[in-house]
């Protein structure tokens, strides 16, 4: 999920290269991830523990946000597993309230206004993941959530932005290398994982290709792209340079309306806007199997060569619309002002998110 507004400025957090490493490095560890599937793969989530004694909750490890927030017993509207701060001897109430609104949500439906909004209360507590333990982690308790979050099988979100904050900053301060890797798989494959502090070379083939984040980027996993092609074809519009955000907490793809429609024009004239859900597009489900829809997005590697990350034709449909099950929603939603790729791309590429060297790496999954 990609957050667009946080009304509270966070203080006292460590960013990227400003962290001093301890002399003894922590070894990389894997975190198994479960797949939330509803028509398509929506989210991948894993376990963390909070408090003393530890209370286990599940979170999405979300590269589109930066903070840790999860359901709590202070939230009557939350139907997920809740953290109870009264049971933790290390919990400290921060006493501040805030809200956060997301521009992409849990599923593939478009975000309208503030339909993905959380009300939060600041705190600190001990947080554990993959055998690591970090004290005094800045976090937020969810005290209210909009109904759109009610389908979530997980309790919260662990932000994994391009500047180390909170839990990950604490791990880096203890000596964990300042990178992580994601192996996000389709439900049929399974065994998805997050690798903290390293790279799992058993999950990909060939060499990793690295691209540098723009020097002026602000904690967002974003890479400039010189162009997009569809089934090997492109246009002047699609060949325009655009900055594309990589968001592990978004299930599909968002582009501006003109880019979205230029891509669909190469796939089928029968892909049209779906009136009941502005920003979405669809086509008769029985036409999907016959369509070629390989979407390739170009990027420039650190050594200067151009490489492509391709979303295969199998990702074209994200499932039927609820109001008409004969029509399938297609993977790209129109959202002017935002160019973003999520699970539709990431589950076909092993990805390395290197905070210390401000770069991203990709290789084809096995």
pLDDT in tens, the chain (366 residues): 555 333 333 333 332 323 333 445 899 999 999 999 888 899 999 999 999 999 999 999 999 999 999 999 999 999 999 999 999 999 999 999 999 887 665 556 654 445 678 999 999 999 999 999 999 999 999 999 998 888 889 999 999 999 999 999 999 999 999 999 999 999 999 999 999 999 999 999 999 999 999 987 678 999 999 999 999 999 999 999 999 999 999 999 999 999 999 999 999 999 999 998 889 999 999 999 999 999 999 999 999 999 999 999 999 999 999 899 999 999 999 999 999 999 999 999 999 999 999 999 999 999
* Contact residues for 195 (Cβ-Cβ < 8 A; gap 6+): 28, 29, 30, 31, 180, 181, 182, 183
Q: Taking the domains of the chain in order of start, what are their residue ranges?
A: 29-196, 202-365
Residue 27: CB atoms within 10 A of its CB come to 12
Query: What confidence score (pLDDT) does residue 101 get?
Result: 84
Catalytic residue numbers read: 62, 247
Counting every residue, how long is the chain?
366
For 29-196, CATH gives 2.40.70.10
For 202-365, CATH gives 2.40.70.10
Query: What confidence score (pLDDT) does residue 1 get?
Result: 58
- Which contiguous run of DSSP H or E holds residue 263? helix 257-267
- 178/199 Cα distance (integer angstroms): 12
Q: φ and ψ at 258, to 5 degrees?
A: -65, -40
Distances (CA, A) of 33 to 45, 66, 80, 265: 5, 19, 17, 36
Q: Do domains 29-196 and 202-365 have the same CATH topology?
A: yes
């Amino acid at each position: 999920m990609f957050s667009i507004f946080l009304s509270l400025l966070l203080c006292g957090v460590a960013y990227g290269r400003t962290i001093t490493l301890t002399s003894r490095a922590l070894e990389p560890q894997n975190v198994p991830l479960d797949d939330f599937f509803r028509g398509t793969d929506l989210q991948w989530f894993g376990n963390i523990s909070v408090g003393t004694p530890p209370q286990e909750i599940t979170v999405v490890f979300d590269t589109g946000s930066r903070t840790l927030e999860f359901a709590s017993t202070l939230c009557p509207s939350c139907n997920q597993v809740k953290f109870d701060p009264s049971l933790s001897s290390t919990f400290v109430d921060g006493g501040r309230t805030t809200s956060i609104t997301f521009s992409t949500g849990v599923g593939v439906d478009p975000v309208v206004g503030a339909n993905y909004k959380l009300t939060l209360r600041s705190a600190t507590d001990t947080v554990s993941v993959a055998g690591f333990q970090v004290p005094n982690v800045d976090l937020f308790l969810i005290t209210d959530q909009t109904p759109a979050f009610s389908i979530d099988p997980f309790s919260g979100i662990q932000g994994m932005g391009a500047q180390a904050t909170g839990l990950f900053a604490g791990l880096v301060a203890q000596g964990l290398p300042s990178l992580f890797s994601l192996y996000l798989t389709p439900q049929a494959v399974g065994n998805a994982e997050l690798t903290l502090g390293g790279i799992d070379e058993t999950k990909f083939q060939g060499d990793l290709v690295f691209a540098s984040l723009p020097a002026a980027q602000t904690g967002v996993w974003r890479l400039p792209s010189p162009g997009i092609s569809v089934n090997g074809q492109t246009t002047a519009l699609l060949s325009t340079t655009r900055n594309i955000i990589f968001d592990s907490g978004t299930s599909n793809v968002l582009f501006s309306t003109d880019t979205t429609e230029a891509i669909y024009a190469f796939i089928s004239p029968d892909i049209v806007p779906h009136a009941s859900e502005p920003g979405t597009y669809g086509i008769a489900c029985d036409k999907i199997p016959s369509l070629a829809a390989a979407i390739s997005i170009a990027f420039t590697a650190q050594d200067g060569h151009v490489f492509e990350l391709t979303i295969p034709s199998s990702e074209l449909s994200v499932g039927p619309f609820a109001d008409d099950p004969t029509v399938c929603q297609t993977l790209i939603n129109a959202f002017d002002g935002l160019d973003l790729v999520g699970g539709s791309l990431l589950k076909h590429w092993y990805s390395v998110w290197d905070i210390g060297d401000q770069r991203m790496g990709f290789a084809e999954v096995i």
